[in-house]
Amino acid sequence: MATPPMLLDIARTLLALAAPAALLCLVLAGIALRRDGGRNFSIGGGFSRWMFWAVIFLTLPQLMAWFPALGVPAALPTGGITSGWMASLTNDISSFVTNFVVNQLATVVAAFFVLRAVLDVAEGHGPLGSIITAMFLLAVPSTAALLRGWNSGSPNATSDVLAGLWTYAVSRILPMAACLAVVGAIWNFWQNRPWMHFAGCAAGFLTVAALWQLITRMMS
C-alpha cells in the first residue's frame, strides 16, 4: 500500500527542520554552560544534554538508516516537499532560526554575558565563566559547521560526530586550557595564593589523551 503524499511531506518537513533544531540546541547549550558553571560542566547536565541533542538532530537521517537494517520496511522519504505551504513554512522557520535566533539574538545574549562578567568581577568572582559562555554563543555557526564536517554519512554518524568532538576538545581546547591554567598558577604564585591545583590541571589537560590510551589498553 502506497504511503499518502501528505504523510511523506510531513516526514520530509520534520527532517528538513532537524538542522534548525540543532542550531537552537547549540544556543541553549551555550546558555546552559553558564548555568552549569561556565568553566566546567557536569556529565548529564544541561550543557552536555543540549550538545548531545544537537548531534542527534544533525545526524538524524543517518541515525534513521538503522531501522531498515532492523527489518523496518519504511525508509526515509526522498525528494523535495511537494506541498507549497509546508515548503514555505520550512523555509521560514529555517530563516528565522538562522538569521534571527543565531545571528541576532545569540549575539545580544553573548553581549549580556560580557556584562555579566564585569558584574562577576564587581562581586569578587571570576569572570571566566561568563566570558567562555559569550565566546561559545558567538561561535554557534562555526560549531555547527564543525559538527557537520564530522558527519561521515554512515549509520554510525552520531558516534562519529561525538568522537570528532572528543578529538577536537583534546587536541585543540585542552591545550589552550592548559596554557590558561599555567597563567593562573603563575598569578597565584605571585599573589602568595595556592597554585599547585592550577599546575595539576595544566598537566592533566595535556595528558588526557595519553590517559585515555592507557585505560583502553589496560581494558583490552
Rounded CA separation 20/49 (Å): 17
- For residue range 34-72, list pLDDT tens digits in order: 877 655 555 556 888 899 999 999 998 888 777 765 544
Please tell me which residue, 42 or 147, carries the higher pLDDT value. 147
Number of Cα atoms under 13 Å in the Cβ half of residue 58: 27
pTM to 2 decimals? 0.81
- Let me know: does 4 contact 98? Beta carbons within 8 Å: no
Q: What is the pLDDT of residue 96?
A: 94
Rounded CA separation 47/175 (Å): 21
- For residue range 1-18, list pLDDT tens digits in order: 456 667 777 777 888 888
Q: What is the pLDDT of residue 72?
A: 46
Rounded CA separation 112/124 (Å): 18
Rounded CA separation 11/64 (Å): 12
Concatenate the DSSP letters of all residues of 130-167 into one string.
HHHHHHHHHTHHHHHHHHHHT--SSTTHHHHHHHHHHH
- For residue range 162-208, list pLDDT tens digits in order: 999 988 988 888 888 888 888 888 888 887 888 888 888 888 888 88
- Let me know: does 185 contact 195? Beta carbons within 8 Å: yes
- For residue range 98-137, list pLDDT tens digits in order: 999 999 999 999 999 999 888 888 877 777 788 888 999 9
- Residue 28's pLDDT band (cuts 50, 70, 90): very high
- Cell numbers at 127, concatenated: 569572570
- Let me know: does 55 contact 144? Beta carbons within 8 Å: no
The full set of domain ranges for the chain reads: 1-155, 156-220
- Cell numbers at 196, concatenated: 599547585
Rounded CA separation 33/110 (Å): 12
Q: What is the pLDDT of residue 73?
A: 45
